[in-house]
Amino acid sequence: MFEYALVAGLTASGADAYLLHVITTPSVAYVARTEDFDCGIMISASHNPYYDNGIKLINGNGEKMDEATIHLVEAYLDSELEVFGQ
């Protein structure tokens, strides 16, 4: 369900999104690089408790997103988000 919520947010903001569904992180990196995508997002799950799950951000070169960008995303998500229409 989270996958579809993420895609809905991305496409609502004007981005294109391609679902790869169940796939390995290296495969997401490969597709991001070879298909000339701006980035890839891997929703990771774990056999451990839910708080060990996460999101991996991959740049268009198929590498882990740089720390500065990751910190910007985390700061945005940790902030109080403005909900339109309220």
Looking up residue 44, the CATH number of its domain turns out to be 3.40.120.10
> Which pLDDT does position 84 carry in this prediction?
67
Q: Does residue 42 form part of some domain?
A: yes
Mean pLDDT, the chain, integer: 90
What is the count of structural domains for the chain?
1
pLDDT value of position 82: 72
Q: Which residues are catalytic?
A: 46
> Does the residue 11 lie in any domain?
no
Tens of pLDDT along 26-68? 999 999 999 999 999 999 887 888 888 889 999 999 999 999 9
Q: What is the mean pLDDT of residues 4-29?
A: 94
pTM as predicted: 0.80
25 contacts 42 by C-beta, under 8 angstroms: yes
Range of the domain at 33: 19-78
| 2 CB-near residues (< 8 Å, 6+ apart) | 43
The whole-angstrom distance between residue 14's C-alpha and the CA centroid of its chain comes to: 15
Q: Which pLDDT value is given to residue 28?
A: 97
